[in-house]
Structure 1
Amino acid sequence: MSPHPPIPARVVLLCGPSGSGKSLLAARSGLPVLRLDDFYKEGTDPTLPLVEGGSDIDWDHPLSWDADAAVTAITELCRTGRTTVPVYDLSLSARTGEESLRTDGAPLYIAEGVFAAELVVRCRELGVLADALCLTRGSVTTFRRRFLRDLKEGRKSVAFLLRRGWRLMRAERSIVARQTALGAHACDKDEALDRLADAAAGPRAEAATAA
């Protein structure tokens, strides 16, 4: 007998380095999408971590993000098909409101963000996990895509974006290694789309444990 009662929907956690194409892939899938970046802490939060040896806030550290609130939203979507999520402005480092999100009866949805892998174990234990994917494209491609996107959207100053981009490019292998160690499967966009199609066709038993 399953330890968890049947639920209306399950979640695919989609992580990967910043700029790896998570949002584009999620949109291309046609599935409902929960943006985990909306659960960043506000810039005035005293618990925000700093980059080691510097004064910049380390927005790529899991402690810059509210994991508990993200898990609450994920489980509400899975069990009730709807939840309320914050609207976060990255350029302001602040929440500017909230909005309602619904799955509209879809049996599967995507929760995407750089910290999605941090939730693999908790979502599996709660019985809501369908799969966990880590999207990779190579550090140079990711650096270029990330910088152009963040510059276009005015997320932070150019100097900050260059410092962050260089730091993340050097750290990309370790970022992917951490996310896969947490239970996400590293793949390119084509394999990710194939696994999403498989997950949509039926529940994956212990999917995120597959190498």
Structure 2
Amino acid sequence: MVLIAGASGSGKSRLAHLAGCPSLRLDDFYFDADHPHLPRSPIGIVDWDDPRCWDAGAAVAALQDLLSSGRVEAPAYSISESRRVGSHEVRMDGASCLTAEGIFAIEFLATCRAAGLAAEAIYLDRPGFLVFWLRLRRDLAKKRKPPRILLRRGIALWRAQPGLKRKALAAGFTPMGMRAAVARLAD
């Protein structure tokens, strides 16, 4: 199993897709917007980048089921609606690798190891302006939030990106650009 971490919009989902392995989208384990006690950002909105917005226990259970039985019914989460909207099946189908990606992968590495799940850890390391632009373009196209919120949040995330990288490296992640990460996962 390979955990893929990186800033929001850095290309984690794209990397997981390019790897050609089954992938569990960790962002599908967000709590719904009406979940009690969700943390707020300094600008007054729910801080979806705070790990307390995410159900790590359910994600570990899903990975354990997937690795033991070869399949799991995972939640499907709508970021634009801030809620779960259904589920989807993830199957191993004899694959020799599995990726799990999401913005909480950094914190999730220790959770996986505590649960006895071995994981390689890759931090997708891309330039801040590129990540800002990719995230903004994606979020506007998917109408995830109002443009004003996307810009404010995007600037805040851009400023926080160097700290996120330091946190990932301290947790045991290996930084890689997109090409190097694709090559590593192709091995």
Q: TM-score, normalised by structure 2?
A: 0.95
Q: Which amino acid aligns with 2:7?
A: P
RMSD, matched Cα: 1.3
Match of 1:4 in 2: none
> Is the 8 Å Cα contact of residues 109 and 119 (structure 2) preserved in structure 1?
no
Structure 1, unaligned runs of 5 or more? 1-10, 199-211
Match of 1:134 in 2: 123
**Where in structure 1 do 4 or more consecutive aligned residues deviate above 6 Å?**
none
The answer to whether 1:194 aligns with 2:178 is no
Shift of 1:187: 1.0
Match of 2:132 in 1: 143
Q: Aligned runs of 1:61-210 on 2, under 5 Å?
A: 61-198=50-187
Q: Which amino acid aligns with 1:119?
A: F
> Is the 8 Å Cα contact of residues 48 and 63 (structure 1) preserved in structure 2?
yes
> Is the 8 Å Cα contact of residues 13 and 132 (structure 1) preserved in structure 2?
yes
Match of 2:15 among 16, 19, 25: 25
Q: TM-score, normalised by structure 1?
A: 0.84
Q: Matched residues in 1 for 2:27 and 2:119: separation?
A: 20
- The aligned length equals 187
Structure 2, unaligned runs of 5 or more? none
Shift of 1:194: 2.7
Q: Matched residues in 2 for 1:117 and 1:76: separation?
A: 21
Q: Matched residues in 2 for 1:100 and 1:47: separation?
A: 30
Range with bigger deviation, 67-76 or 115-124: 115-124
Shift of 1:46: 1.6
> Is the 8 Å Cα contact of residues 32 and 103 (structure 1) preserved in structure 2?
yes
> Is the 8 Å Cα contact of residues 3 and 100 (structure 2) preserved in structure 1?
yes
Q: Matched residues in 1 for 2:20 and 2:30: separation?
A: 25
> Is the 8 Å Cα contact of residues 70 and 91 (structure 2) preserved in structure 1?
yes
For the pair shown, the structure with the greater C-alpha radius of gyration is 1
> Is the 8 Å Cα contact of residues 112 and 119 (structure 2) preserved in structure 1?
no
Q: Matched residues in 1 for 2:89 and 2:37: separation?
A: 27
Q: Matched residues in 2 for 1:157 and 1:129: separation?
A: 39
Q: In percent, how many aligned pairs have the same letter?
A: 44
